[in-house]
């Protein structure tokens, strides 16, 4: 099937499901991304300055751009849109920096489970329109990880840290090592910090250093003293987390397997079918699987609950063809906008390049 004909077929499928086309800009102001995502995101951008010295970048993420476009409309009514175009990210792929996508989004969901299911169902229709007869559909849900962390005997500041860096696999593993061993705690440094603490206690609490007041710094230090990490509970918690992140099963068995896991560790968590927005597991040649780690390894923190990826065999390799999920917090976290309930998916046409 020729590339252009394939795109037309996918777009026809998307339109038949009631998604309306929006044109997204090819460039975006870098401050719109960096004001919340931080300077660490800059390394992924192809940026430049215009004649007035204003900094822009080639569009690095079409979902972010789609949310910006929606927010500027200020209607905040439920809306179903689709887009097609290129995203430009330096580290998105070692060989390819231009990612050709067709994406769908549903903003301001009134019924999140219903919209999650609609995006997944539409993604499967896009898959079929692309001509793939076989596929593996991986389903995950970030809320399960959050629930687990909040039930384990981990001090609150470390709970927040583990949740925040879940998507960054490399740094997350470093955190787990620190949690289970406490080897990063240097008694000499602790003693030196305590002396600084006692000296700062005598100073003006409103004094600012490195952008923080003495009062805030002292409060954070006192919280560490009152809620220290304990090696025994840290080791136990790290063990449970590692076991959880290895969980995989056929999707129909996921609630049962997860409830057995939580019962094994006496964690008061119950998993129902509402975590997985699909009821038809009997689609010929499509394998539905639950993975507790689905979606990890992205440069941008995307999903905050339901997420999925669809893998296909292409040129004798297994590739991720469609990815998606719910990202209610993205507008607020990455762009500084009001919270916008959103779910979407994108098909990676770059595999044909």
pLDDT tens profile 237-253: 999 999 999 999 999 99
Within 10 angstroms of residue 30's Cβ, the number of other Cβ atoms is 19
Within 10 angstroms of residue 224's Cβ, the number of other Cβ atoms is 14
> Is pLDDT above 70 for 187?
no
pTM of the predicted structure, to 2 decimals: 0.81
More confident residue, 284 or 328: 328
What does the domain layout of the chain look like in residue ranges?
A: 3-147+249-352, 153-239
Which residue blocks in 201-328 are alpha helix, DSSP H?
A: 214-226, 231-245, 254-264
The 8-class DSSP code of residue 213 comes to E
d(CA 47, CA 351): 25
pLDDT of residue 191: 63
Q: Average model confidence (pLDDT) for the chain?
A: 84
Q: Specify the residue for token string 């700062």.
A: 200
In the beta sheet, which residues pair with residue 307?
140, 325
61-65, 221-225, 281-285, 344-348: range with lowest mean pLDDT:
221-225
Residues 6+ apart with CB under 8 A from 318: 311, 312
Phi, psi torsion values for 340, nearest 5 degrees: -125, 110
Residues 46-58 have a mean pLDDT of 87
pLDDT of residue 57: 87
Fold of the domain built from segment(s) 3-147+249-352: BirA Bifunctional Protein; domain 2 (3.30.930)
Within 10 angstroms of residue 318's Cβ, the number of other Cβ atoms is 10
Highest mean pLDDT (candidates 176-185, 219-228, 262-271) = 262-271
d(CA 86, CA 62): 8
> Is pLDDT above 80 for 300?
no
Residues 91-96 have a mean pLDDT of 58
Please measure the distance between the N-terminal and C-terminal CA atoms of the chain and give it in whole angstroms. 13
Residues 6+ apart with CB under 8 A from 145: 163, 166, 244, 292
Q: Are 287 and 137 in contact (CB under 8 A)?
A: yes
d(CA 132, CA 134): 6
pLDDT of residue 280: 66
Q: Are 324 and 346 in contact (CB under 8 A)?
A: yes
Angle, CA of 295, 301 and 302, to the nearest 5°? 65
> By C-alpha distance, which of 260, 267, 56, 255 is closest to 154?
267
């Amino acid at each position: 099937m020729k590339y252009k004909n394939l795109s037309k077929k996918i777009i026809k499928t998307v339109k038949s499901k009631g998604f309306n086309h929006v044109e997204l800009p090819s460039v975006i102001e870098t401050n719109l991304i960096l004001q919340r995502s931080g300077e660490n995101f800059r390394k992924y951008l192809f940026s430049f300055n215009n004649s007035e010295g204003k900094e822009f970048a080639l569009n690095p993420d079409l979902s972010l751009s789609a949310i910006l476009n929606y927010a500027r409309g200020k209607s905040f009514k439920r809306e179903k849109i689709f887009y097609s175009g290129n995203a430009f990210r330096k580290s998105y792929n070692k060989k390819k920096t231009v990612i050709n996508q067709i994406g769908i989004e549903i903003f301001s969901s009134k019924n999140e489970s219903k919209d999650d299911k609609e995006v997944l169902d539409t993604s499967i229709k896009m898959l079929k329109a692309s001509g793939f007869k076989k596929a593996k559909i991986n389903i995950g849900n970030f809320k399960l990880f959050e629930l687990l962390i909040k039930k384990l005997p981990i001090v609150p500041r470390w709970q927040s840290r583990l949740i925040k860096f879940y998507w960054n696999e490399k740094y997350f593993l470093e955190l787990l090592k620190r949690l289970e061993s406490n080897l990063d705690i240097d008694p000499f440094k602790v003693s030196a910090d305590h002396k600084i603490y006692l000296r700062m206690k005598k100073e003006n609490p409103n004094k600012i250093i490195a952008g923080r007041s003495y009062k805030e710094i002292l409060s954070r230090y006192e919280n560490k003293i009152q809620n220290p990490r304990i090696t025994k509970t840290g080791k136990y918690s790290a063990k449970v987390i590692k076991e959880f992140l290895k969980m995989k099963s056929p999707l129909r068995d996921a609630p049962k397997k997860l409830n057995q896991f939580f019962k094994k560790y006496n964690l008061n968590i119950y998993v129902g079918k509402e975590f997985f927005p699909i009821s038809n597991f009997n689609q010929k040649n499509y394998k539905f699987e639950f993975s507790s780690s689905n979606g990890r390894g992205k440069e941008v923190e995307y999903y905050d609950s339901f997420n999925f990826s669809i893998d296909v065999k292409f040129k004798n390799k297994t590739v991720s063809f469609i990815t998606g999920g719910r990202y209610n917090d993205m507008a607020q976290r990455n762009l500084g906008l009001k919270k916008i309930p959103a779910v979407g998916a994108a098909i990676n046409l770059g595999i044909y390049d």
